[in-house]
Amino acid sequence: MKVVDLRKGSWKYDERLKYLARRGEVLEEEYESKVKEIIHLVRERGDEALIDLTREFDGLELTPETLEIPFEALERAYEELEDDVREALEIAEERIRSFHERQIERSFFTEEKGIVLGQKVVPLERVGIYVPGGKASYPSTVLMNAVPASVAGVEEIIMVSPKPGKYTLAAAYVAGVSRVFQVGGAQAVAGIALGTDTIPKVDKIVGPGNIYVALAKKVLYGTVDIDMIAGPSEVLVIADSTADTTWISADLLSQAEHDELAASILVTDSDRVAKEVQSRVVELLDGLERSDIARKSIERFGTIFLVENMNHACEVANLLAPEHLEVITEDPFALLPSLRNAGALFLGKYTTEPLGDYILGPNHTLPTGGTARFFSPLGVYDFVKKSSVLYVSKEGFDKVSDLAMTLARAEGLQAHELAVKVRKVK
């Protein structure tokens, strides 16, 4: 891991810090043209393009009839689960559902003399969830995306995933997914955004993925709604001298093994912690089954920042706005008021990020690439839409009509004023 000492000079302008802060932009420049080409192919050729691209990228020979996985396969996958895996999936589903039920928004109405105003909250009719596959199996991602949609009352949940395995399909059954299509990448996003003869067009696409998936969602935003631009995974750990360096190193590698483009960052005020983590990460790498992936991630984005103090550490974290932010310090809650930009905050040495991935309950679909400055975790609120409701009686009209005409004249909109004025004669 690259060590950068921010204790000297103007740390905000350090080249490594700037590089990480604009990581998403750097990746877009490399991949966007290819993503647009894939979307164009799906738009023009539909199922035929999906089949050709799935053969090229995933090595699967499909037909329009085999793009969709029969629902019976989901039920069979669930029935064939090992007992411990079934129990873990069901408990995780219960915890995720319980947490997200607290996010439910209700319609409301207010009334004054002659005027009724309100907001109607309704679930989306059909949503698409993207579940990564190929390099690993992600049943937890199925739960995190489908359960909030189910809680919101979405009628039809369409899942796309490249080569979904037994655990992914079983999770889809547990979470209440309606239909599953075995396509992935930018082409899958295009398929559910645009619709094909086989795959239905959805109202919104949610879920994490690699850079191709993230950019496809960005390009197609407007054709379809999206949750966020969720790209490769990342973790930033703030640690002081009390932290266990083996624990920190394992946490950093837990994100690096996701993807060659994942980012693992340590921010510490301890020279000892920095040096020990730098060597310990290398030692632990060789023991990983996905060591090649993790090593490429560490070589490209792995960074240790040495800072003056914990206030300085919080400034660095807020600038980078990480997806996952771990605080492994003597008093982690003391830093909470100073931390503004993070997808999720994991406080304390036992709150390792994988617990959030799998079992705790809050959503693990989180903003990446610095977008935690303005995006939030996936939630029930992502699966509803709102309409304003307005009613005005004659009494209410008399109360506000002159005010509306005054503002219409101020804006120079004569027909607006006329639409109000003609009702004053009745």
d(CA 404, CA 211): 49
Task: Map out the domains of the chain with their CATH numbers.
Answer: 2-28+232-373 (3.40.50.1980), 46-113+122-229 (3.40.50.1980), 393-425 (no CATH)
Which candidate, 374, 272, 142, 230, places its Cα nearest to that of 221?
230
Q: Phi first, then psi: what are they for 170, rounded to 5°? A: -65, -40
Task: Give residue 302's pLDDT.
Answer: 95
User: Is-above-0.85 flag for pTM?
Assistant: yes
Task: Give residue 134's pLDDT.
Answer: 66
When mean pLDDT is compared across 131-140, 287-296, 389-398, 405-414, the lowest value belongs to: 131-140
Q: Is 324 a catalytic residue?
A: yes
Please report which confidence band the pLDDT of residue 29 belongs to, taking 50, 70 and 90 as the band edges: confident
d(CA 26, CA 20): 9
Annotate 34-100 with three-state secondary structure: HHHHHHHHHHHHCHHHHHHHHHHHHCCCCCCCCCEECHHHHHHHHHCCCHHHHHHHHHHHHHHHHHH
Task: Give residue 19's pLDDT.
Answer: 84
Please report which confidence band the pLDDT of residue 24 belongs to, taking 50, 70 and 90 as the band edges: low
Task: Give residue 136's pLDDT.
Answer: 65
Instruction: Write out pLDDT tens, residues 295-345.
Output: 999 999 999 999 999 999 999 999 999 999 999 999 999 999 999 999 999
Q: How far is CA 317 from CA 259, 311, 331, 339, 370, in A?
A: 21, 10, 17, 7, 10
Please report which confidence band the pLDDT of residue 275 belongs to, taking 50, 70 and 90 as the band edges: very high
Catalytic residue among 323, 326, 353, 417: 323
Task: Give residue 197's pLDDT.
Answer: 97
Task: Give residue 26's pLDDT.
Answer: 61
Average pLDDT over residues 109-135: 94
Instruction: Write out pLDDT tens, residues 44-74.
Output: 999 999 999 999 999 999 999 999 999 999 9
Q: Is 323 a catalytic residue?
A: yes
Please report which confidence band the pLDDT of residue 27 belongs to, taking 50, 70 and 90 as the band edges: low
pLDDT mean across residues, the chain: 94
Task: Give residue 213's pLDDT.
Answer: 92
pLDDT-above-70 percentage for the chain: 97
Catalytic residue among 93, 324, 326, 364: 324
In terms of Cβ atoms closer than 10 Å to its own Cβ (0-12, 13-18, 19+), residue 273 is buried
Q: Does residue 426 register a pLDDT over 70?
A: no
